[in-house]
Each structure stands twice: as structure tokens, then as C-alpha cells.
Amino acid sequence: MAKEVLCEVENCNYWGQGNLCQADAIYVVSHKGNTAYDSKDTDCKTFKPAH
């Protein structure tokens, strides 16, 4: 399992210094059912805009 999850979306509520994600868990889904062939086929459902 990954020990570091990197994120470059600075307006995400879970974004931390050094581009480290501070969320307790990450939820990623595919646009193509249960299979993705490229990162463009996926979305991070964990994203939440920072206030």
C-alpha cells in the first residue's frame, strides 16, 4: 500500500504542504465501468473544495 499519496490540486480540502494528500482514505472511480486503461479514465471522488 502507498505510504504517500501526492496531490497537486491546491484548492482541495485535503491538500497538504509538499503536495501530500491529508485524507484518511482515497476513493477513485473509473469512467468505463470497473476497468480503466489510463489515468484520464479515472476521477478522485475524495476531492472536496477548500473553503
Q: Which of 35, 10, 36, 33 lies closest to 21 in space, CA to CA?
A: 10
How many whole angstroms separate alpha carbon 24 and alpha carbon 29?
Answer: 17
What is the reported pTM? Answer: 0.81
Distance between terminal CA atoms of the chain?
30
**pLDDT digits 0-9 by tens, 1-51:** 778 999 999 999 999 999 999 999 999 999 988 999 999 999 999 999 998
